[in-house]
């Protein structure tokens, strides 16, 4: 699970750099982290959780 998480984060950093070549490293990391959190929240919200 951790390996997949790191891969997704790495892919998002690459995507942000490609879409925003003028961004500095800190801005790239911030935007990538923001996108990762949005993706994570979206995935968690899509789960159907039933408490028994």
Domain around 10: 2-39
* 49 lies in some domain: no
* 19 lies in some domain: yes
Per-residue pLDDT of the chain (52 residues; tens, 9 = 90+): 789 999 999 999 999 999 999 999 999 999 999 999 999 999 999 998 889 8
* 29 lies in some domain: yes
Indicate the number of domains in the chain: 1
- What's the farthest any 2 CA atoms get from each other in the chain? 51
- Quote the radius of gyration of the chain (alpha carbons, Å): 14
- The pTM score is 0.81
* 44 lies in some domain: no
* 52 lies in some domain: no
* 28 lies in some domain: yes
* 33 lies in some domain: yes
* 45 lies in some domain: no
**pLDDT at position 19, please?**
97
**pLDDT at position 49, please?**
85
């Amino acid at each position: 699970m951790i390996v997949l998480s790191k891969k997704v984060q790495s892919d998002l950093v690459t995507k942000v750099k490609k879409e925003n070549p003028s961004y500095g490293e800190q801005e790239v990391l911030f935007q990538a982290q923001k996108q990762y959190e949005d993706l994570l929240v979206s995935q968690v919200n899509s789960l159907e959780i039933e408490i028994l």
